Amino acid sequence: MKNPVHVAVTGAAGQIGYSLLVRIASGQLLGPDQPVILRLIEIEPAMKALEGVVMELQDCAFPLLKGIVPTCDLNEGFDSASWALLVGSVPRKAGMERKDLLGINGKIFTSQGKAIQENAASDIRTLVVGNPCNTNCLIAMNNAPDVPKDRWFAMTKLDENRAKTQLALKAGVDVTDVKNLAIWGNHSSTMYPNYFDATIGGKAATDVITEEAWYKDEFIPTVQQRGAAIIKARGLSSAASAANAAIDTVANIIKPTAADDVFSVGICSQGEYGIEPGLIYSYPIKSDGEKLSVVEGLDINEFSQQKIKETEAELSEEKTMVSDLL
Ligand code: NAD
Ligand code: LMR
């Protein structure tokens, strides 16, 4: 039996936490032979609710769950963690953009970044889900200068999954036939699902769905506004699909990417495709099971170039808004 891996999850008593924790504890995050210890971090007022979550986890009798540490102490919470899933933060309400949350949520990620640096295992990798996730990730990363910059991620996988499903529905194919679809930039209404590189059944998506107007007038806005559409319908932001995307993201990072596919995640840009270095920018990514690399050499047409710069501009603006936290 392998040694347990410590997985820290913030916002553990929230709605994403409720979907996410059972999936981690049942082996869906790190695999069916990898025991885990859950380190569940909450704020003080939510500790009572967290007690209930802990009872439910215990009542599942998961064979791989070797311990649960519920806490509102960040040092205890991130102690020995090899993965930190930063979910805890306030969700937006109808009518808000995600960046409107920066004033409330941004500061959470300064102390969390520091506590990760001071307490986590040397192989710590952090995935930020709490919004606005790219800039919150930027804040946490900058508050943990000793943790290598290639260990920080912001979640755009949910947007990729949404985009793939929209293409599959339009083409009348199974979602597994859609590949090579990456989200560029910010997890926000400026994100760019670059359909020019996507494939459907092995052919260019643009040869299968040939109506250009559909991509521009329906596909891109649907993907960009899907989070808002869910808030409008549910009165609450996405939770099960967000938890699912967090599980997918970690799997994408730790397993080699198939030759005919890519995945999306926000990483610390090193200037690829002319993007400002240091921003947390979502690119088409491949993993070799350990290291990630941005897919280089893609042909970026004029339309895509405009879109990838537009979302970069928003990230630069968000960075300026939080300059006192970096
Ligand atoms: P929620 O309100 O149901 O739960 C959030 C939890 O975080 C609460 O239990 C709260 O007590 C806790 N929390 C708040 N501040 C904290 C702190 N400083 N430390 C630890 N815990 C803290 O919200 P939710 O629906 O679970 O969503 C959480 C976040 O995830 C929101 O910001 C939401 O917008 C974001 N989100 C991101 C994506 C994505 O694709 N990146 C998708 C869905 C939701
Ligand atoms: C989502 O995309 O569903 C989340 O980021 C929640 C939101 O605010 O839209």
In short, whether 46's Cβ falls inside 6 Å of ligand 1 is: yes
Q: What's the mean pLDDT in 311-324?
A: 97
CA 253–ligand 2 middle distance (angstroms) = 21
- Name the active-site residue from 39, 125, 157, 187: 187
**Residue 187 a catalytic site member:** yes
In short, whether 231's Cβ falls inside 6 Å of ligand 1 is: no
**SS3 letters for the chain?**
CCCCEEEEEECCCCHHHHHHHHHHHCCCCCCCCCCEEEEEECCHHHHHHHHHHHHHHHHHCCCCEEEEEEECCHHHHHCCEEEEEECCCCCCCCCCCHHHHHHHHCCHHHHHHHHHHHHCCCCCEEEECCCCHHHHHHHHHHCCCCCCHHHEEECCHHHHHHHHHHHHHHHCCCHHHEECCEEEECCCCCCEEEHHHCEECCEEHHHHCCCHHHHHHHHHHHHHCHHHHHHHHHCCCCCHHHHHHHHHHHHHHHCCCCCCCCEEEEEECCCHHHCCCCCEEEEEEEECCCCEEECCCCCCCHHHHHHHHHHHHHHHHHHHHCHHHC
Q: At what angle do helices 240-254 and 157-171 cross, to 10 degrees?
A: 100
Per DSSP, what are the bridge partners of residue 125? 83
Q: pLDDT tens for residues 178-195?
A: 999 999 999 999 999 999
In short, whether 282's Cβ falls inside 6 Å of ligand 1 is: no
Nearest ligand, CA 227: 2
CA nearest ligand 2 atom 1, residue: 227
Q: pLDDT tens for residues 78-97?
A: 999 999 999 999 999 899 99
CA nearest ligand 2 atom 3, residue: 227
Spacing of C-alpha 141 from chain mean position = 15
Q: pLDDT tens for residues 3-35?
A: 999 999 999 999 999 999 999 999 999 999 999
Annotation: binding site: 11-17, 92, 98, 105, 112, 129-131, 162
Q: pLDDT tens for residues 100-121?
A: 999 999 999 999 999 999 999 9
Q: Which atom of ligand 1 is nearest to the CA of 101?
A: 32
In the numeric block, the tokens 């215990």 are attached to 58
pLDDT for 73: 98
Handedness of CA 212, 232, 182, 146 (dihedral sign): positive
**How much of the chain exceeds pLDDT 70, in percent?**
100
Q: How confident is the model at residue 1 (pLDDT cuts 50, 70, 90)?
A: confident
In short, whether 16's Cβ falls inside 6 Å of ligand 1 is: yes
pLDDT for 129: 98
Nearest ligand, CA 154: 1
Q: How far is CA 315 from CA 104, 192, 235, in A?
A: 17, 13, 27
Half-sphere exposure of 161 (CA within 13 A, CB side): 16
Annotation: binding site for substrate: 92, 98, 131, 162
Verdict on whether the full-model pTM lies above 0.95: yes
Q: To test the ligand 1 pocket, which listed residue (74, 90, 187) has its Cβ within 8 A of the most ligand atoms?
A: 90
Q: What's the mean pLDDT in 173-179?
A: 98
